[in-house]
Amino acid sequence: MDELKIGRKIRQIRLQNKHTLQEIARRTGFTKSYLSMIESGKKSPPIASLSKIAQALGMDIGAFFEKKKPEDRMILVKKSERKVVVRDGSIFGYRYESIAPTKGQKKMEPFIISLPSKSREGNLFDHEGEELFYVLKGQIRFFYGDKKYSLREGDCIYFDSSIPHRGEGVGRKIAKALVVIYSS
């Protein structure tokens, strides 16, 4: 899904619930200007930011993504049906693919994240809940609070996502990880 569709969905939900940009800015800690740029599709927010916005709206982060199939207890998503939710070229160079975009009312949000080998150094992210980060391919440098970890294929970190964190690719190849975000 592109940034414009996500932004429109955020705006639609915000207006339906009669929230102002100022109110959401106060709840998330983001500026009204930043939120406005997200809503207009001019900014591509990282998943952590989307999670904070969803929480401020009292919603599941999955509400921002299209649901093309009726709600069911089980869904099957073929590789070709994955949705890119943050495209290449976003400020941090991450690419997120939602691997369960059509499942509604979920407590977990699973993604495949690609981390280029030359990730731009940036801010650490934090959001409510817990997160699982499993390295599928390559090497990743993972920052958690004031600590740094070196991760390789098959390594897994499960952590409290309210602690500032982020990953970056190491080496010449793009690294990939399975990321599952849980928010109660």
User: What confidence category does residue 160 fall into, taking pLDDT thresholds of 50, 70 and 90?
Assistant: very high
Between 20 and 60, the more confident residue is: 20
On whether the pTM is more than 0.85, the answer is no
Domain count for the chain, please give it: 2
Range with lowest mean pLDDT among 19-28, 90-99, 172-181: 90-99
* Contact partners, residue 15, CB within 8 Å, separation at least 6: none
Quick one: 87 and 178 in the same domain?
A: yes
Q: Which of 12, 39, 64 is at the close of a domain?
A: 64
> What pLDDT, on the 0 to 100 scale, is given for residue 94?
72
State the first-to-last Cα distance of the chain, in angstroms, to the nearest integer. 24
Instruction: For residue 74, tell me if it sits in a domain.
Output: no
Asked if 86 and 96 count as a contact pair (C-beta separation under 8 A), the reply is: yes
> Rounded mean pLDDT of 60-80?
69
pLDDT, the chain, mean: 83
Instruction: For residue 70, tell me if it sits in a domain.
Output: no
Quick one: 144 and 84 in the same domain?
A: yes
110 — phi, psi (to 5°)?
Answer: -95, 140
